[in-house]
């Protein structure tokens, strides 16, 4: 069982690591791809939910405000992150989005007075130093500073804030007994409903022009979103929290590797150094939070 859980954890991380590749090669705009990412996953999630004959969907009526807040947070997370992927490098956008775990602890400190440990503060300092190195790569582009790349970096940080909000919302729902599949199905549906008018108002291309374009969106929805998130949710229930938090650091690493192999996106030395420092900081912060 442990071997299967390990496989699920790493496979889920790799599947999610493919998501920025799908976004970058998509034939639709960033907000539109975020909408299709969730809307195409909705039928699959509900079919799985009803096929397993779970009765947990009644929890939606009891916790509908919490579900709505989780859906809003996830919509913000996806919308800002998809724009970040368009503006800056895959490596930068993915690494910066993974600062969410640090924002979770900061939120607990501010909202619930849960004072962080010295180890967490050390991890926070390391992560911020790594972020500075990543931003420096945008400032020192081959043709000089890139305002577009800097905007993408900033959107990556905003993404982390929304994802932290989503994680806190999910934790609250899980603590009240809502099962993983019901949570995914309901929040994904709410997120799709929220993102549709945003995508329409953005003026972006909403429909892909070719059948290949639809296949890319299906890959984003079924492989990266449904399968990736589902496998990680399964692994989280089977493995120690400390180990899974470290194992999930594979995701930004693999995203950078995929961008290099599939998109020809180079990794400069300063970016590699910054990414390593960010990952080390996230590791220390997660280790401190699990103690």
For 1-56, what is each residue's pLDDT tens digit?
Answer: 567 878 888 898 899 999 999 999 999 999 999 999 999 999 988 988 888 765 55
For the chain, the C-alpha Rg in angstroms (whole number) is 18
Query: What torsion do the CA atoms of 108, 109, 114, 120 make, to the nearest 10 degrees?
Result: 100
Count of positions (residues) in the chain: 291
DSSP 185-252: HHHHHHHHHHHHHHHHHHT---S-SSHHHHHHHHIIIIIIIIIHHHHHHHHHHHS-HHHHHHHTTHHH
pLDDT tens per residue, range 50-61: 887 655 555 566
pLDDT band at 83 (very low <50, low <70, confident <90, very high): very high
Q: What is the pLDDT of residue 57?
A: 52
Q: Given its phi and psi angles, is residue 290 left (phi above 0), alpha (psi -120 to 50 degrees) or beta?
A: alpha
| DSSP 8-state symbol, 117 | P
Chain segment 140-195, per-residue pLDDT in tens: 655 445 678 889 989 999 999 998 898 888 878 877 878 778 888 899 999 999 99
Q: How confident is the model at residue 123 (pLDDT cuts 50, 70, 90)?
A: confident
What is the average pLDDT value for the chain, to the nearest integer?
83
pLDDT above 70 covers what percent of the chain? 87
Q: Where do the domains of the chain lie?
A: 2-290
Backbone phi, psi, residue 116, to 5°: -75, 160
Lowest mean pLDDT among 67-71, 265-269, 275-279, 284-288: 284-288
Alpha carbon of residue 141 to chain centroid = 26
Read off the pTM.
Answer: 0.84
The pair phi, psi for residue 277, each rounded to 5°, is: -70, -40
CA-CA distance, 42 to 184, in Å (whole number)?
9
Whole-Å CA distances, 193 to 25, 33, 189, 199: 24, 14, 6, 10
């Amino acid at each position: 069982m442990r071997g299967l859980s390990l496989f699920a954890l790493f496979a889920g991380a790799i599947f999610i690591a493919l998501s920025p590749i799908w976004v970058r090669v998509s034939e639709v705009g960033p907000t539109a791809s975020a909408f299709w990412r969730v809307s195409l996953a909705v039928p699959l999630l509900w079919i799985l939910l009803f096929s397993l004959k779970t009765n947990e969907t009644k929890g939606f009526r009891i916790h509908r405000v919490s579900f709505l807040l989780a859906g809003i947070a996830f919509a913000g997370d996806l919308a800002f992150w998809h724009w970040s992927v368009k503006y800056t490098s895959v490596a930068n956008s993915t690494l910066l989005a993974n600062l969410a775990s640090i924002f979770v602890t900061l939120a607990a400190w501010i909202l619930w007075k849960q004072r962080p440990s010295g180890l967490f503060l050390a991890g926070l300092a390391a992560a911020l130093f790594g972020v500075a190195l990543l931003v420096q790569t945008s400032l020192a582009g081959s043709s000089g500073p890139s305002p577009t790349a800097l905007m993408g970096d900033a959107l990556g940080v905003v993404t982390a804030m929304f994802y932290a909000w989503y994680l806190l919302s999910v934790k609250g729902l899980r603590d009240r007994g809502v099962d993983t599949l019901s949570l995914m199905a309901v929040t994904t549906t709410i997120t799709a409903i929220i993102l549709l008018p945003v995508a329409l108002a953005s003026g972006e291309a909403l429909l892909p022009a070719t059948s290949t374009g639809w296949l890319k969106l299906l890959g984003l929805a079924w492989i990266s979103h449904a399968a990736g998130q589902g496998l990680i949710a399964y692994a989280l229930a089977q493995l120690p929290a400390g180990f899974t938090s470290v194992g999930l650091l594979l995701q930004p690493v693999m995203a950078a590797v995929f961008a290099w192999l599939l998109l020809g996106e180079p990794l400069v030395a300063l970016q590699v150094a910054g990414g390593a420092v960010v990952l080390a900081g996230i590791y220390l912060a997660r280790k401190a939070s699990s103690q």
